Amino acid sequence: MRDVMKLRSNPDEIGIGAKLKKMFFSIYSYSIIYALFGVLSLSYHACFNSSLSTLEKRYHFSSSTGGLIMITDNIATVLTNLFIGYYGKTAHKPRWMAIGCVVTGLSVMITSLPYFIYGPAQESDLELAGNMTLLSKSKNGDQMCLSSFQKEDCSQMGATKLMTAVAVSCFAISNFFRGFGTSIYFTYGTPYLDDNVSKAKMPSFFAFIFAGRILGAPIGFYLSSVALKYYENPFGRPAGLVDTDPRWIGAWWIGFLVSGTLMLLLAIPLAFFPREFKKNLNKKEQELPINGDQANHSEGVQLVERGKGGDIAAFEGDLEIQTTNNSVAKEQKKPDLSLSEMPAEIIAIITNPIIICQMMGNLFRGIGIIGYFVFQTKYLEAQFRQSASKASLVSGTTGFLAKIFGVLFGGVLISVCRPGPRALHNLYILC
C-alpha cells in the first residue's frame, strides 16, 4: 500500500529520467542559463554598437538613423511589458521564457539578413564608402554628384536608396522583435528566481547573475573585433585592401549569427523547467489555511486508514477520486485576470513613490550613458583613426571590470551584513 501511495503522490521521483531531471533542472542550473542569456543579450548590443560605423558605410545611412534603429527595442518593451507582466501571474514562466529565447534568437539572426540579400560590397560600393561626402544632400533633398562623375555613377548612387531602405528595415524590425523577446524573458525570469530562492540567498544569486551579464558587453565587443578583422566576404577579399583602409567593410554579420544560434540553443533546456520547484511548493503548502490542503490531508489520512483495513481496491478508487478533486480545486484557485482590473494595478504602481523614484533614477542614468555607449566605438574610429576592429577591442576592455567588482561586492555585502532599507538606500546613493 505504501508503494501505491508513493506512486500516486510522487510520480516525478520514479525512474532514471527523474534523477537526471533533478540533477540538471535545479535552481542553480536555471541561474546559469538565465545569466548566459543575459550575456548573449548584452553581447548583441555591444556587437551592433561596434559594427554601427561599418553598417553605415556599407548601407549608406546616417548616425541619426542608426540611433533610431537602436531605440526600436525600447518601443517594443514599452508596448508589451505591461501586458506581459500582468498576465505573467498565472503563466508557466519557463516555457514563456523559452518562447522569448526563440523570438530573440531569430530576431538577432535577422540582423544579418541584408548580407545574404545583397552579398558583399562591390568595387563601386567601396569607392562610394570611401567618399561619403558625395552623399551629402542639399536643402531641397536633391542628391549631389561631382562633375567628374559619369551619369551612370549618379544613377547608381540613386539605386542605393532601395538597398538602404531594405537594410534599415531589417535592422529596425529585428531589433523591435528582439525587444519583445527579451521583455518576455526578463519579465518572467527574475520573478521565477525570486519565487524559488530564499531571501537569505537571493542577493548572492543576483550578484552572480548580473555580474555574469556584465561580461556580455566585453564578449560582444571582442567578438565584433575578431569578425571585423575579416573582410565582409571572408573568402573573397579584394586585392590590396587592408582593415585600416577607409573602404574596408568587415564581416559584421558573423557575430549576429553566432549570438542568435546560441540563444536558440538556450531555449531547449528552458522549456523543460517546472512551473515551480518542489521545495517551493512544499513551502507554500505549509502556509495554506486549514480549510484548504490541510482538509485534503485529513481526507488522505482517512483513506490510508481504510487501506489498512484491507479494502485496497476501494482505497485506490477513492484515492484516485480524491486526487482528481484536488487537481480540479487547484485549477479553480488560479485567479481570473481581466483587463478591467489592469488600470487599478497600474495606478497602484505609479502612486508608489519608491517605485517612481527608482524608475526616474534609471531613466536619467540611461539618458546620461546611452549615447556614450552607442557611439563610443565610432568616436574612436573617427577621432583617433583606428580600424573598426581595434576600436571595438578597446571599447570592450574599459570600465567593465569595475562594474563586475561592484555587483559582486554589493551582493556579498547584502548577504553577509543584511542592511535595512534605509542603510541600503544610503549605500546606493554613495556608490
pLDDT tens figures, 245-267: 888 899 999 999 999 999 999 99
Gap between the Cα atoms of 344 and 144, Å rounded: 56
Whole-number pLDDT of residue 331? 43
Gap between the Cα atoms of 407 and 215, Å rounded: 12
- Indicate the domain borders of the chain: 26-135+149-271+344-430, 285-333
- Cell numbers at 206, concatenated: 543576483
Instruction: Give the pLDDT confidence of 63-86 residue by residue, as tens digits.
Output: 889 989 988 998 998 888 888 888
Whole-number pLDDT of residue 171? 96
Whole-number pLDDT of residue 410? 80
Which helix (H) or strand (E) segment is 15 a member of? none
Whole-number pLDDT of residue 369? 81
Give the residue from 226, 243, 211, 216 showing the smallest Cα distance to 393. Answer: 226
What residues contact 344, with CB distance under 8 A and at least 6 apart?
none
Would you give the distance in Å from CA 220 to the centre of its chain?
Answer: 14
Whole-number pLDDT of residue 409? 82
Gap between the Cα atoms of 252 and 54, Å rounded: 7
Q: Which residues of the chain have pLDDT under 50?
A: 1-9, 11-16, 130-143, 146, 148-149, 151-152, 281-333
Whole-number pLDDT of residue 345? 82
Task: Tell the burial category of 415 from Cβ atoms under 10 Å away from its Cβ (0-12, 13-18, 19+).
Answer: middle
Whole-number pLDDT of residue 313? 46
Gap between the Cα atoms of 403 and 292, Å rounded: 47
List the beta strands (DSSP E) in 126-225.
none
DSSP secondary-structure letter at 137?
Answer: B
Whole-number pLDDT of residue 399? 67
Whole-number pLDDT of residue 415? 78
- CATH H-level, domain 26-135+149-271+344-430: superfamily: MFS general substrate transporter like domains (1.20.1250.20)
